[in-house]
Chains A and B, each alone.
Chain A
Amino acid sequence: MDKQDLLADYRTMLLIRSFEEHCQQQYTRARIGGFLHLYVGQEAVAVGAIGALKPQDHLVTHYRDHGHALARGLDPQPLMAELFGRQTGTSKGKGGSMHFADDAKHFWGGYAIVGAHLLLAVGIAYGIQYKREVLGQDDDGVVMCFFGDGATNGGEFYEAISLAALYKLPIVFLCENNEFAMGTPLSVHTAVTEIHKKASPFMPGERINGNDVVEVREKASAAIEHARSGQGPYFIEAMTYRLRGHSAADPQMYRTREDIAARRSNDPIELLKQKLLDEGLLDNKKAKKIESEVEKEVEAAVKFAEESPAPELSEAWDDIYAQPL
């Protein structure tokens, strides 16, 4: 495993947090519309796990994708522009919050139909294996596929783990167990609340502390190595907690303010900050500096989005077939 740069990880986690605070503000001002799903409280999972990927690896995720995109190094400017529905956005304004993507970074995007993307991820892993074994090409890529606990109840989940195991595909399944599928608590939506056990007949796996970026990085690195070395898929269940509503318009009737307050002490950013302070890697002055840098970066993204043009109406007709009909 490459050495983990904890300060860089801290910065990325802050970037995600700040990006989303700005998203929330802009949503309140109705400059971002539709549905906005924030990742607040789960940042250590994205930063730890995606940080363990190499450039040749692949990332596929679900609709709660802001954190994953930023952790993979996507530029906040086109992301914010996408949220504003502008031409300069990652989907030229067509997709909005749930479908960020970047081909060059092998970030195959967020998918809004829960469960469906697990099969695509398996297909990409199959493509890697095929390239190697049939086409005789070099490709030692690994796919990492993110999804929530709620997504593990649909048939597609079982189809995906079944095929991945059968063909020993190079894929890491990464379930972010944040204890809720929208407003439905874990114990209400599944009989097997230790999600990794659902996959245990098919592949090795484990439950880890998703709020500890060090642990996530370490376990994800091992899982990726397992997949890369031809041993087949691996399953990680990262325990975490969503501190905000399911979406920006969630009245959160399914939990109390006290429930949420009790979990704030386990905020992954605060935990990492404390660790860095304790280990002398960070002091208050340096912390302030990082915070203000991050804040500036996100403000620049908002400005970029504001100043970007809306798509031309004719663009509605672009990108449907290879040859327009």
Chain B
Amino acid sequence: MAELNLLEAINQAIDEAMAADERVYIIGEDVGYRGGVFRVTDGLINKYGEKRVIDSPLAESIIVGSSIGAALYGMRPIAEMQFADFIFPAFNQILSEAARMRYRSNNEWNVPMVIRAPYGGGIHGALYHSQSIEAFFTHIPGLKVVAPSTPYDAKALLLASIADPDPVLFLEHKKCYRLIKGYVPDAPYTVRIGEADVVREGDDISVIAYGLMRHYAVEAAETLASEGISVEVVDLRTLTPLDKTTVLNSVKKTGKALIVYEDNEFCGYGAEIAALIAQEAFEYLDGPVQRLGGLDIPAMPYSAPLENEFMPTPQKIADRLRDLAAF
């Protein structure tokens, strides 16, 4: 067991996958000699060379598009978006090509590709370096979307994503990169794509979250425990496919649900969870299903107080939990 932070765990997963399978390569802006903007790919170019750790031209469409082609032809590319905010030039490739390939080819062709994208705010990244993008992509059947929040889950889920025969968008919350540390086993272990995790048990309210918000939710739950309110926290870990069973079991037990996500609240991923609970656990509910998301404003502002206003925080989560507990 070693204690790693999130980015070290991701680095380890890429390293192990590349060591185990020569078809695996990584392509992205500055992933080579610079080791990535956040240093996630640090050291890999020295180990695997320029053919397998590719400093690409600055063009996300070619990073993703060429990865789709190579994946069709049997390679296992890992395409890095330097920031999730820059993925949109590649949106067409992901939506129209990668996600539909199996369907349009009668299951003859598949795209075993992973797109890694650092997302999320809280680092003063301002309007173009803070975005959460999951709602655009969870809307696309044919694509899987994974969003781990701990080093343990990130390592295993990245290995699972690389091994997956279908395209996976792998979201890494950049504020968690160095902030979140945890033990990662030396021996191989697995976490399956599509399995949520009850990270804190409780009886009164369920919080459903992912990414940085899972950590904030746990913090809020601890605060509420001292006030006599027992909060359960579910970390989704995978957004597509959604682990409906774990979510529903938790809400059926507690009877109340708060869904927390950092993306713009309106039409965000949490809307889907709320709909699921309303449809399939209605008779168990003791209160209205609640959401707490980012502000519905065009982008995360730079100024620290405004950024803080945008983000759900442990305090804001705790406040909403108190209201819901009192309902």
Please give the residue numbers on chain A whose beta carbons come within 8 Å of chain B beta carbons, in ascending order: 33-35, 85-86, 91, 93-99, 112-115, 150-151, 153-156, 181-184, 188-190, 250-251, 253-254, 310-311, 313, 315-317, 320
Inter-chain contact A316/B295, CB cutoff 8 Å: yes
Task: Give the distance in Å from the alpha carbon of A33 to the alpha carbon of B301 in the complex.
Answer: 12
Q: Separation in Å of the A16 CB from the closest CB of chain B? A: 21
The listed residue with most B CB atoms (<10 A of its CB), out of A115, A310, A316, is: A316
Contact B306 A153 (CB under 8 A): no
Pair A85/B129 contact, Cβ less than 8 Å = no
> Which of B35, B55, B89 is A184 in contact with, Cβ under 8 Å?
B55
Q: Say whether B30 contacts A184, CB under 8 Å.
A: yes
Q: Is the CB of B297 within 8 A of A184?
A: no
The residue from A112, A189, A311 contacting B129, defined by CB atoms under 8 A apart: A112
Shortest CB distance B320–A (Å): 18
Query: Are B34 and A183 in contact (CB-based, < 8 A)?
Result: yes
Question: How long is the Cα–Cα vector from A250 to B34 in the complex, in angstroms?
Answer: 9
Q: Which residue of B lies closest to A63 (CB)?
A: B128
Residues of B16-60 at the interface with A, using a CB-CB cut-off of 8 Å, are 29-30, 32-35, 37, 55-60
Whether B126 pairs with A182 at a CB distance below 8 angstroms is no
Say whether A115 contacts B305, CB under 8 Å. no
**Contact of B303 with A94 in the complex, beta carbons under 8 Å:** yes
Within 8 A of A (CB), among B92-124: 123-124
Residue B61 at the chain A interface, CB threshold 8 Å: yes
Whether the pair B303, A311 counts as a contact (CB closer than 8 A) is: yes
Contact B306 A93 (CB under 8 A): yes
In the complex where A34-B302, A254-B34 touch, is A189 in contact with B124 (Cβ < 8 A)?
Answer: no
Find out whether the CB atom of A311 lies under 8 angstroms from the CB atom of B305: yes
> Is B177 on the interface with A (CB-CB < 8 A)?
no
B53 to chain A, nearest CB (A): 12
Check if B86 sits within 8 Å of A313, measured CB to CB. Answer: no
* Nearest-Cβ distance from residue B59 to partner chain A, whole angstroms: 4
B309 at the interface (CB under 8 A from A): yes
B125 at the interface (CB under 8 A from A): yes
Q: How far does the alpha carbon of A155 sit from the alpha carbon of B60 in the complex, in Å?
A: 10
Q: Which A residues are CB-close (under 8 A) to B86? A: 113-114
Tell whether, in the assembled complex, residue A93 and residue B89 are in contact, meaning their CB atoms are under 8 Å apart: no
Q: Say yes or no: A93 contacts B59, CB within 8 Å.
A: no
Q: Which chain B positions have C-beta within 8 A of A188?
A: 55
- CB of B276 within 8 Å of the partner chain: no
Question: Can you spell out 28 A-B residue pairs with CB atoms less than 8 angstroms apart?
Answer: A33-B124, A34-B124, A34-B125, A85-B302, A85-B303, A85-B306, A86-B303, A93-B303, A94-B127, A96-B127, A97-B126, A98-B126, A112-B127, A113-B85, A115-B58, A115-B59, A115-B89, A153-B62, A154-B58, A155-B59, A182-B29, A182-B37, A183-B33, A251-B34, A311-B303, A313-B305, A313-B306, A316-B310
Please name all residues of chain B whose beta carbon is closer than 8 Å to the beta carbon of A183 when the two chains form the complex. Answer: 30, 32-34, 55
Complexed CA–CA distance, A112 and B59 (Å): 14
Determine how close the nearest CB of chain A comes to the CB of B38; give it in whole angstroms.
Answer: 10
Tell me the complex Cα distance, A95–B125, Å: 9
Question: With A35-B129, A113-B85, A317-B297 as given contacts, are A310 and B305 in contact (CB-CB < 8 Å)?
Answer: yes
CB of B303 to closest CB in A, whole Å: 3
Q: Are A316 and B126 in contact (CB under 8 A)?
A: no
Cβ of B59: which chain A residues have Cβ within 8 Å of it? 115, 153-155
Complex Cα gap A275–B191 (Å): 66
| Smallest CB gap from B304: residue in A | A85
Interface size on B, residues (CB 8 A): 37
Question: Could you say which of A113, A155, A190, A311 contacts B306, with CB atoms under 8 Å apart?
Answer: A311
Q: Is the CB of B228 closer than 8 A to any CB of chain A?
A: no
- Whether A114 contacts B305 in the complex (CB less than 8 A), given A94-B127, A96-B126, A182-B29, comes out as no
CA distance A114 to B56 in the complex (A): 14
Asked whether A96 lies within 8 Å of B124 as measured between CB atoms, the reply is yes
4 pairs of A and B residues whose beta carbons are closest in the complex: A183-B34, A85-B303, A33-B124, A93-B303
B126 touches A95 (CB 8 A): yes
Whether B188 sits at the interface, judged by CB under 8 Å, is no
Of the candidates B85, B129, B297, which one forms a contact with A316 in the assembled complex, judged by CB atoms under 8 Å apart? B297
Q: Given A115-B89, A184-B29, A253-B35, 18 more contacts at CB 8 Å? A: A33-B304, A34-B123, A85-B303, A95-B126, A95-B127, A95-B301, A114-B58, A114-B86, A153-B59, A153-B62, A154-B58, A154-B61, A154-B89, A181-B29, A310-B303, A316-B301, A316-B309, A317-B295
In the complex, chain B residues whose CB is within 8 Å of the CB of A184? 29-30, 32-34, 55-56, 58
Instruction: Report yes or no: B126 in contact with A151, Cβ–Cβ below 8 A.
Output: no
A112 touches B128 (CB 8 A): yes
Of A86, A94, A115, A155, which contacts B301 at CB under 8 A?
A: A94
Q: In the complex, which residue of chain A has the Cβ closest to the Cβ of B59?
A: A154
A247: nearest chain-B partner, CB-CB: B37
Indicate if the CB atoms of A189 and B58 lie closer than 8 Å.
yes
Q: Contact between A189 and B302 (Cβ–Cβ < 8 Å)?
A: no
- Distance of B66 from chain A, by nearest CB (Å): 12
Which of B37, B60, B85, B129 interacts with A34 by CB under 8 Å?
A: B129
**When the two chains form the complex, which single residue of A85, A98, A112, A150 contacts B58, counting CB atoms closer than 8 Å?**
A150
Residues from chain A with a CB closer than 8 A to the CB of B34 are 182-184, 250-251, 253-254
| CA gap between A191 and B264 in the complex, in Å | 40
Are B302 and A151 touching (Cβ within 8 A)? no
Contacts of A317 in B (CB 8 A): 295, 297
CB pair B33–A254 under 8 Å, yes or no, is yes
Q: Are B298 and A320 in touch, CB under 8 angstroms?
A: yes
Contacts of A150 in B (CB 8 A): 57-58
Query: In residues 137-180 of chain B, which contact A (Cβ within 8 Å)?
Result: none
Residues of A close to B125: CB separation below 8 A: 34-35
A189 contacts across to B, CB distance below 8 A: 55-58
Q: Which residues of A contact B310 (CB under 8 A)?
A: 316
- Mask of B177-215 contacts with A, CB within 8 angstroms, 1/0: 000000000000000000000000000000000000000
Residues of B with C-beta under 8 A to A251:
34
Asked if B57 contacts A113 (CB within 8 A), the reply is no
